[in-house]
Amino acid sequence: MHATRPRRPRPRVVVAVVLAVVPLGCGADSSPPTARPRLGSREVTTVEVRDLAEHFTAEGVDGAFALYDPEGDRHVQYRPDRCGTRYPPGSTFGMLHAAIALESGVASGPGFPLPWGGPERQGGSEDRSLTLRAAVRGSVLWYFQELARRIGPERMGAWVQRAGYGNGEIGDGDDRFWLDGPLAISPNEQVDFLRRLHGGELPFSESTVATVRDLLVLEETPEYVLRGETGRAGSEGGAQILWLVGWVERGDARFYFATLILSGNPTRETADARLEVTHRILAILGAL
């Protein structure tokens, strides 16, 4: 997760949106999803399929988007095939990773420090000791790798399974399973994980969930709070996988979302596009 960055002004755009309500796995994409989203103990059977391509192409990227609005039990997808396909979560796993570290006692709280134990490198905040809060904000790989080693593969695997996170597979539990696999999760499952995390349906204490929620603030305005985490993972057919997943709190309303970007040549601008695309779509769908 990154600290709040000033957003570039976005021009007002009038768009035409194509809406279709279809059985899950049908629609503009012929490939059926490989994993259906679960809402509680039941599966979603219909979704609103939206044509949101222009918001991705405006930033020069391709991808997918999924959203769940609990108030109307409304599930929205752009590119249903990709929304049901599992990809490595990258640093978005940091949400569950932090919860596991806190619940298991490996981390004592947001201020839990770890010293950088590697060779000195010129410049960069990653050369100094960091807290859990700073590591989540910066998606600092070495910090979470050390947490994974302290948690251990057996305990990590058990927690991932208990949380019902994606395919639940961590392989031999090395310190890159969330980047290179075998751990994988679909946009639909990201959304459902967020819903269950916020709703207290995961095997974590209220204090752990409250701490994780606090760690995930991306933006806070008088109108809304945007919480989430970014991530980057291995390639999919030669394209890098970039994520932005989280939820919007606006009064009593909640909107859980997952933005997936696939890019053959990701740059800093491509990474920034995650927030731009997400803002555009959340506004169109009435979440912002």
Query: Could you tell me the residue ranges of all domains in the chain?
Result: 19-109+184-284
pLDDT at 183 over 90: yes
Q: Are 280 and 127 in contact (CB under 8 A)?
A: no
Question: Alpha-carbon distance 288 to 278, whole Å?
Answer: 10
Lowest mean pLDDT across 172-176, 245-249, 281-285: 172-176
Please count the helices (runs of H) and the strands (runs of E) in the chain.
10, 12
Would residue 91 show up in a list of annotated catalytic residues for this protein? yes
Taking CA atoms, 51 is separated from 10, 189, 284, in Å, by 20, 21, 11
Confidence of residue 68 (pLDDT cuts 50, 70, 90): very high
pLDDT at residue 76, rounded to an integer: 96
Catalytic residue of the set 30, 91, 205, 207? 91
Closest CA to 101 of 145, 140, 138: 145
pLDDT at 16 over 90: no
The three-state secondary structure class of 110 is coil
For 191-195, what is the mean pLDDT? 96
Instruction: Report the percent of the chain where pLDDT is more than 70.
Output: 78
Q: Are 170 and 182 in contact (CB under 8 A)?
A: yes
pLDDT at 279 over 70: yes
Question: Alpha-carbon distance 42 to 183, whole Å?
Answer: 23
Q: Are strands 46-50 and 74-78 parallel, antiparallel or unpaired?
A: parallel
Tens-digit pLDDT profile for residues 208-251:
999 999 999 999 999 999 999 999 997 767 778 999 999 999 99
Q: How far is CA 75 from the centre of its chain?
A: 17
Question: Alpha-carbon distance 240 to 97, whole Å?
Answer: 22
Q: How far is CA 133 from the centre of its chain?
A: 17
Handedness of CA 250, 190, 241, 74 (dihedral sign): negative
- What CATH number was assigned to the domain covering residues 19-109+184-284? 3.40.710.10
Q: How many other C-beta atoms lie within 10 A of the C-beta of residue 264?
A: 12
pLDDT at 123 over 70: no
Confidence of residue 59 (pLDDT cuts 50, 70, 90): confident
The three-state secondary structure class of 127 is helix
pLDDT at residue 120, rounded to an integer: 52
pLDDT at residue 134, rounded to an integer: 95
pLDDT at residue 45, rounded to an integer: 60
Average pLDDT, the chain: 84
pLDDT at 176 over 90: yes
Of residues 38 and 275, more confidence is placed in: 275
Of residues 3 and 150, more confidence is placed in: 150
Confidence of residue 27 (pLDDT cuts 50, 70, 90): very low
The three-state secondary structure class of 53 is helix
